[in-house]
Amino acid sequence: MKRIILLSLASLISFMAFSQNDGINPQMLEKIKQGYTSTTQDKALRNAIANNSIDKLVANLDNEANYDTYFSNRVKTKGVSDQKSSGRCWMFSGYNVLRAEMIAKYNLGEFDFSHNYLFFYDQLEKSNLFLSLIIKHKDEPLDSKHNDWLLKNVLSDGGQFTGVSDLITKYGLVPSSVQPETYNSENTRTISSLMTLKLKEYALELRGANNKDLETKKVEMLSTIYRMLVLAYGEPVREFTYTLRNSSGKEISTDKYTPKSFYDKFIGKDLNKTYVMLMNDPTRPYNKLYEIENDRHVADGFNWRYINLPIEDIKEMAIASIKDSTMMYFSCDVGKFYNRGKGLLDVNNYDYASLMGTSFSMDKTQRIQTFASGSSHAMTLCAVDLNKDNKPNKWLVENSWGSSAGFQGHLIITDEWFNEYMFRLVVDRKYVSSKILNILNQKPTMLPPWDPMFAEDID
């Protein structure tokens, strides 16, 4: 009887929330229709829109005439990588920073690290993090905010630079030839969905287990995940012999390595102490330090922690880095106003407002607040074109969609688009002023993992 009363109360509250006046009734529908007046131009537009891509209809051809591929300052790179059908852009972007440094240091030809090797551990570590958080929140209701978020964000390919730094610090690196890609590392959808399904099953099992059995059960569960990963990606290499050659084919060195010793010899720096993570989030105060709860790849690693800065401050550091031939991890909302044929990101590429007879007037702050925009893809910032006043006209990023995508595997970004849709930049601390570095000494403001700004870089 009590259950029936509670259900009736819930139904009453639901009814009270929406009255009959909130529905579209015939009278309201008639008023809506009266607000629209059909014209002869609308008939032509309906035919055009129904049978064509909207982007093609609203493409600004005059804007394409101003397309320019010259850059006054550019970091030299060799080769363009391809993440294929996976969401590993964050790893490719981080690798591009490190491999450009190694290529320049040793005068190499095209060279890359194995994405498959580190991705194996990324997926294993994320699985452990998920199960650990399920245990942490096991006494909360299944539909609590934390558990709801966890079960909707179990496992993905996506991530941020903290994943690059923590995973490399823990597991090292190997050359791409030592552990090549597999079909499933380049096409991750199926194996990822299977592991996700298994982890959700494990989550329910852990919630019903005795506390004294939790750690034992978690290790057993991760053994199954490990086996799934081995079958899809191969078991990670532990030792290997490798010959490094320069661009002329001359041998630089031949030695036996572990992944950690290889990294220590050829890169050999603490990534967490070398790089500073910056954000342009106008919804929050600038010159403040922020941290996102549980936004990490490795349970014993670091959350994404960043300094929120005005866009002009970020540009200043980016320009200094490029001028010093140092590439940067860069992420943005890549899908907005993207001309695929030209590889051009420009807010003037498409005129949606004229076609639809309305305006789209939200600014960057409002787009973030309404989940209309956020960081979705990581690339590597490698060039800037400066005008006579030393101000940027446009930027260039090395992408990870293959050499045939965009402009020779790169995307050109106008400075106006940079202002509106750039979010994250990771720079070497030597390009950061002491004033900004001091912000790292602040106690960070902790933000929840479901904050609108903090979806993973995954495209």
Q: Is residue 14 part of a domain?
A: no
Q: Is residue 408 part of a domain?
A: yes
CA distances from 259 to 178, 221, 262, 296, 309 (A): 10, 26, 5, 22, 36
Residue 16 confidence (pLDDT) = 55
- Mean pLDDT to the nearest integer, 166-182: 97
For the chain, give the percent of residues with pLDDT over 70.
95
Residue 61 confidence (pLDDT) = 84
Which band of pLDDT confidence, cut at 50, 70 and 90, is reported for residue 8? low
Stronger pLDDT, 133 or 63, i.e. the higher one: 133
Torsions phi, psi for 321 (to 5 deg)? -65, -45
Residue 387 confidence (pLDDT) = 95
- Mean pLDDT to the nearest integer, 348-363: 92
Closest CA to 396 of 180, 62, 72: 72
- Average pLDDT over the chain, rounded to whole? 92
Per the CB < 8 A criterion, the answer to whether 432 and 276 are in contact is: yes
Per the CB < 8 A criterion, the answer to whether 305 and 290 are in contact is: yes
CA distances from 336 to 340, 358, 395, 417, 418 (A): 11, 18, 16, 9, 11
The DSSP code sequence of 138-166 is: TTS-TTSHHHHHHHHSS--S-B-HHHHHH
CA distances from 270 to 79, 101, 195, 266, 438 (A): 26, 15, 32, 13, 19
- Mean pLDDT to the nearest integer, 48-65: 85
Closest CA to 378 of 409, 421, 424: 424
Q: Does 196 have pLDDT greater than 60?
A: yes
CATH at residue 270: 3.90.70.10
Query: Per DSSP, what are the bridge partners of residue 345?
Result: 338, 413
- Mean pLDDT to the nearest integer, 426-455: 92
Q: Does 439 have pLDDT greater than 70?
A: yes
Q: Does 2 have pLDDT greater than 50?
A: no
Residue 194 confidence (pLDDT) = 98
Per the CB < 8 A criterion, the answer to whether 315 and 387 are in contact is: no
Interatomic CA distance for residues 117 and 178, integer angstroms = 9
Interatomic CA distance for residues 444 and 304, integer angstroms = 11
Q: Is residue 287 part of a domain?
A: yes
Selecting among 308, 377, 382, 410, the annotated active-site residue is 377
Residue 63 confidence (pLDDT) = 80
Residue 37 confidence (pLDDT) = 83
* 455's tokens: 């979806």
Q: Does 223 have pLDDT greater than 60?
A: yes
Interatomic CA distance for residues 405 and 395, integer angstroms = 17
Closest CA to 352 of 49, 35, 41: 49
Q: Does 6 have pLDDT greater than 90?
A: no
Which band of pLDDT confidence, cut at 50, 70 and 90, is reported for residue 35? confident
Is 89 catalytic? The answer is yes
Residue 292 confidence (pLDDT) = 93
Dihedral sign, Cα of residue 214, residue 219, residue 221, residue 222: positive
Stronger pLDDT, 386 or 14, i.e. the higher one: 386
Per the CB < 8 A criterion, the answer to whether 380 and 397 are in contact is: yes
Selecting among 63, 89, 96, 294, the annotated active-site residue is 89
Which domain covers residue 304, as residue numbers?
73-447
Residue 36 confidence (pLDDT) = 85
Q: Is residue 318 part of a domain?
A: yes
Q: Does 13 have pLDDT greater than 80?
A: no
Residue 5 confidence (pLDDT) = 47
Q: Does 1 have pLDDT greater than 50?
A: no
Q: Which helix (H) or strand (E) holds 349?
A: none
**Mind listing the pLDDT tens digit for each residue in 131-162?**
999 999 999 999 999 999 999 999 999 999 99
**Domain tally, the chain:** 1
For the chain, give the percent of residues with pLDDT over 90.
80
Q: Is residue 401 part of a domain?
A: yes
Closest CA to 374 of 339, 408, 422: 422
Q: Does 14 have pLDDT greater than 70?
A: no
Q: How many helical (H) and strand (E) elements, i.e. helices and strands, does the chain have? A: 19, 14
**Least confident among 57-61, 295-299, 438-442:** 57-61
Q: Are strands 392-398 and 73-74 parallel, antiparallel or unpaired?
A: unpaired
Selecting among 332, 339, 399, 410, the annotated active-site residue is 399
Q: Does 4 have pLDDT greater than 60?
A: no
Closest CA to 118 of 86, 157, 89, 91: 91
Q: Is residue 452 part of a domain?
A: no
Reported as half-sphere exposure (CB side, CA atoms, 13 A), residue 196 has a value of 14
* 165's tokens: 């730094």
Q: Is residue 36 part of a domain?
A: no
Q: Does 283 have pLDDT greater than 70?
A: yes
Torsions phi, psi for 308 (to 5 deg)? -90, 120
Q: Is residue 101 part of a domain?
A: yes
Q: What does the H/E/C string look like for 95-124? A: HHHHHHHHHHHHCCCCCCECHHHHHHHHHH
